[in-house]
């Protein structure tokens, strides 16, 4: 479980019925289609699900960084400290982005400009937040690199991204993000490009920064091991919807949605006899042609006729634990 002590009841981010669609010539892709969740101050919320379920599009929607053209949020609310950021103008959003809410992307190579030194990019972030004299900004930049455990920051600050390893670049991105002192951090699979030993170091770094600052973290991942180590709560996403959400230990010990049960069952056991790996039969539905019913119904061994007719409302199955499944509805 997370070491993020001091989790408070105060909600810092509330997402209500968020809908983000891609309007293409071939049709409308409903990448995010009714996502709702809350994130509390000092909390780490894990967002898990298979590729293509809408996790990253959800994160980009929260940051207002959707690709220009066909993608746009067509409904819902994203309340950051009570303000619906979907209604803000671009200039207002620029004031919030980086200061109150920031994001770490999964590939640091796409986040850092290859023609500027690490110091240039870090100093720009610090100057935009607080201004100040060049010497003071330089001292803050060196301190920011030291804070994320980069050795010899005085030398590293003059290097270019290509002169650093993947793990080092991901720490630099973390330093840039943390220089804005955000209240909410979205981490979109930040350990995907790192090897196992560096992953563990990076997770410990995030835990330490979270404890020191009290920021809330939305951590997007495929790895249930990462969720168990880092997160306080977990939300399971499938085909554009969150199908189950609750405390990590509660969800792991009592998974209630058939998709969550299948995901956890597919994780190989490290002890006991070696048997055949559990798989989830079938394929996720096309986000261009979604039925009115439960999106997991074609792959669910418990499916009934009503599962095809309407989407199930969320049901409370434990303390702060909900799941969307007709089988859980009271008789």
Span 322-326, average pLDDT: 96
Q: What are phi and psi of 296, to 5 degrees?
A: -90, -5
Confidence band for 8, pLDDT divided at 50, 70 and 90: low
pTM listed for this prediction: 0.91
d(CA 105, CA 65): 12
At 75 the pLDDT is 94
pLDDT at 10 over 60: yes
- Nearest Cα neighbor of 84 from 13, 28, 147, 33 is 13
Is pLDDT larger for residue 45 or for residue 276? 45
d(CA 216, CA 187): 11
- Nearest Cα neighbor of 209 from 98, 44, 48, 99 is 44
Span 206-212, average pLDDT: 90
Is pLDDT larger for residue 197 or for residue 285? 285
At 331 the pLDDT is 67
Q: Which helix (H) or strand (E) holds 171?
A: helix 166-179
At 180 the pLDDT is 85
Span 273-285, average pLDDT: 85
Alpha-carbon Rg of the chain, whole angstroms?
21
d(CA 137, CA 32): 40
pLDDT at 274 over 90: no
Span 108-125, average pLDDT: 89
pLDDT at 3 over 80: no
**Helix, strand, coil shares of the chain as percentages rounded to 5?**
35, 25, 40
pLDDT at 201 over 90: no
């Amino acid at each position: 479980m997370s070491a993020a002590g001091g989790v408070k009841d105060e909600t810092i981010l509330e997402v209500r019925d968020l809908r983000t669609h891609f309007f293409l010539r071939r049709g409308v892709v409903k990448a995010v289609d009714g996502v709702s969740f809350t994130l509390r101050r000092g909390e780490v919320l894990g967002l898990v699900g298979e590729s293509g379920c809408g996790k990253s599009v959800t994160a980009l929607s929260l940051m207002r960084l959707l690709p220009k053209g066909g993608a746009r949020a067509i409904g819902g609310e994203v309340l950051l400290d009570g303000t619906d950021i979907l209604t803000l103008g671009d200039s207002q959003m620029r004031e919030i982005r980086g200061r109150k809410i920031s994001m770490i992307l999964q590939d640091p190579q796409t986040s850092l400009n290859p023609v500027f030194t690490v110091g240039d990019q870090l100093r720009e972030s610090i100057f935009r937040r607080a201004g100040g004299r060049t010497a003071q900004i330089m001292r803050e930049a060196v301190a920011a690199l030291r804070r994320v455990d980069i050795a010899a920051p005085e030398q590293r600050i003059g290097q270019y991204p290509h002169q650093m390893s993947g793990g080092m670049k991901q720490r630099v991105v973390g330093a840039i993000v943390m220089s804005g002192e955000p209240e909410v951090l979205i981490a979109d699979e930040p350990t995907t490009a790192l090897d196992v030993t560096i992953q563990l170091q990076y997770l410990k770094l995030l835990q330490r920064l979270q404890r020191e600052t009290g920021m809330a973290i939305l951590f997007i991942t495929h790895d249930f091991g990462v969720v168990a180590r880092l997160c306080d709560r977990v939300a399971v996403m499938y085909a554009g919807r969150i199908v189950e959400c609750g405390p990590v230990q509660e969800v792991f010990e009592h998974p209630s949605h058939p998709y969550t049960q299948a995901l956890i069952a597919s994780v190989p056991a490290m002890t006991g006899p070696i048997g055949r790996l559990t798989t989830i039969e079938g394929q996720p539905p096309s986000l261009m042609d979604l039925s009115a019913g439960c999106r997991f119904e074609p792959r669910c061994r418990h499916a009934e006729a009503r599962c095809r007719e309407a989407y199930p409302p969320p049901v409370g199955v434990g303390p702060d634990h909900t799941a969307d499944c007709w089988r859980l509805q009271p008789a």
